[in-house]
Structure 1
């Protein structure tokens, strides 16, 4: 069953898979309509030296909950005036130690689940950060609103656009957008 409300649980499952099944150093979550330049995303993650904990993406700082409209959040759901820093949902990376923490907290029924998966991840990283420091890496090249030249990720891409973007990477050697639908 596929439903937006299940995305937060799918995100926990991604963390579990990346830790228990493949022993990954980093876990990347991205939407199915996001084209990812894996090489560029990994290069960005590797800017953090050593085994430091990291959270990489297009980070929102001091973002306030919307109280009306499609993404409305009630005061009962979120009483605070601001969300913790969080990376936009179309594509972000966490280190495996953060993923392990998320899985452990989930299994112990201590993980706070919020209806927006990207905000949930921000809450979880903030909780992890309270005991072990996390390096936050912000880049607009994790594009949430479409495609920008030099992108690491491009959101809202159709299958046709993704094929075009792949072809441009292969033939021109540089990331270029494809503006067809």
Structure 2
């Protein structure tokens, strides 16, 4: 749905960010990262390689063989947050109309990337944290995102984080 929305209402967007609500996001570092990667078919985030579907029906992330029979997924960016060029977002939306749907959104995007012949771009080391990391102002100034923060935690740490640009050494 997000890709369709971008294709319909933001066709000239240069970049598109998908991010979950429980993620700390550092927009300043993200912008610096994007300026360094002006490709048309660009996508980056925490990249999973060689992972496969979970076959346990009790799992929240269960994918039955009928939906996806293969043992592994192609490379994909983890669901807590990833960013792509607007050009690629529009191409992914078109590919999504032709790729069999699976319930795992991030893995599904990986399937669409494979259909397009596009590989995710490796981000700077550790820039996308899909697991929680305890807050440290200067460390977070050199990260794009960190997963697993409650809204009240984000609201509490944000004022302190805003001082990072003036108090932390540059990357």
The TM-score with structure 1 as length reference comes to 0.75
| 2:60 paired with 1:75 | no
2:121 is matched with 136
Shift of 1:135: 5.2
Look up the match of 2:110: 122
Answer yes or no: is the 8 Å Cα contact 2:99–2:111 preserved in 1.
Answer: no
Any idea what SS the aligned residue of 2:69 has?
Answer: coil
The Cα shift of 1:45 comes to: 2.7
2:86 to 60, 79, 96: 96
Cα deviation for residue 20 of structure 1 reads: 3.4
2:26–2:144: 8 Å Cα contact kept in structure 1?
yes
Question: CA RMSD, aligned part only?
Answer: 2.4
Deviation at 1:18, TM superposition (A): 2.8
Q: Distance in 2 between matches of 1:135 and 1:113?
A: 20
Aligned residue number for residue 145 of structure 1: 131
The total of aligned residue pairs comes to 158
- Alpha-carbon separation, structure 1, partners of 2:47 and 2:166: 24
Q: Deviations over 1:83-121 (max 9, x none)?
A: 010111000012112211123345xx4243210000011
Please report how far the alpha carbon of residue 54 of structure 1 lies from its aligned counterpart in structure 2 after TM superposition: 0.8
Unaligned runs of 5+ in 2: none
SS at match of 1:137: coil
**Residues in 1 aligned to 2:18 and 2:107: alpha-carbon distance in whole angstroms:** 13
CA separation in 2, counterparts of 1:104 and 1:128? 10
Q: Hey, what's the Cα distance between the residues in 2 that align with 1:175 and 1:118?
A: 36
Which 5+ residue runs of structure 1 have no aligned equivalent? Answer: 1-12, 177-181
